[in-house]
Amino acid sequence: MVVHRDYRLTSDSIVKVFDNKIEFYNPGRLPDTISIQDLLSNTYRSTPRNKLLADFFKDLGLIEKYGSGIQRIINYFKEEQLPTPEFQNISDGFMVTIYSSSSSKLGDKLGDNQRSILESVKNNPHISLSQLSKTIGISQTAIENNIAKLKGLGILKRIGPDKGGHWEIINRL
């Protein structure tokens, strides 16, 4: 986090620990030339924000090479059969969220509507909010509230934009 933050911004680097996830926030968004999809597919050219710090950390052996961190993190999580971390530009910074693999008690916390949403998403990852509303028989606002809870529990996440994106179930129940 030290190497990647934007020191021109006055906000703090923050780590928040929850029961089911850990959030790492750093001031400084991704450069305009790099998208989240570029990170996930490893199709970007690294542009160190703090080259002096990056060189220093590399000389100390704390960094392998520029631009390899995200892919190594993703691979480590796959090897350990953990959910893929979530990467997002938020506010004036960048956040990485990692989720726990322990979902044994999550099923007990879910209501019938949330279970129905997960079942519908499992059958059709591209299902829209309005389709979910019709399928489950509750309002779109209720769908949005239930999805927010599922996201908060680290069970469901959205990949891509509202149109053309899809849902991914992170923790299988």
pLDDT at 105: 44
Q: Can you give the pTM of this predicted structure? A: 0.57
pLDDT at 171: 65
Q: Is 121 helix (H, G, I), strand (E, B) or coil?
A: helix
pLDDT at 109: 66
pLDDT at 64: 77
**Total Cβ atoms within 10 A of residue 86:** 20
2-11, Cβ contacts within 8 angstroms, sequence gap of 24 or more: 2/53, 2/57, 3/48, 3/49, 3/50, 3/53, 3/54, 3/57, 3/63, 4/28, 4/49, 4/50, 4/94, 5/49, 5/50, 6/49, 6/93, 7/50, 9/92, 9/93, 11/92, 11/93
pLDDT at 101: 67
Q: Give the residue among 25, 10, 15, 58 at the shortest CA–CA distance from 46.
A: 58
Per-residue pLDDT tens, the chain, 173 aa: give them: 888 899 999 999 999 998 778 999 999 999 888 888 888 888 888 888 888 998 898 899 888 777 778 888 888 888 877 888 999 999 899 999 998 765 444 445 678 888 899 999 999 999 999 999 999 999 988 899 889 888 888 889 999 888 889 999 886 54
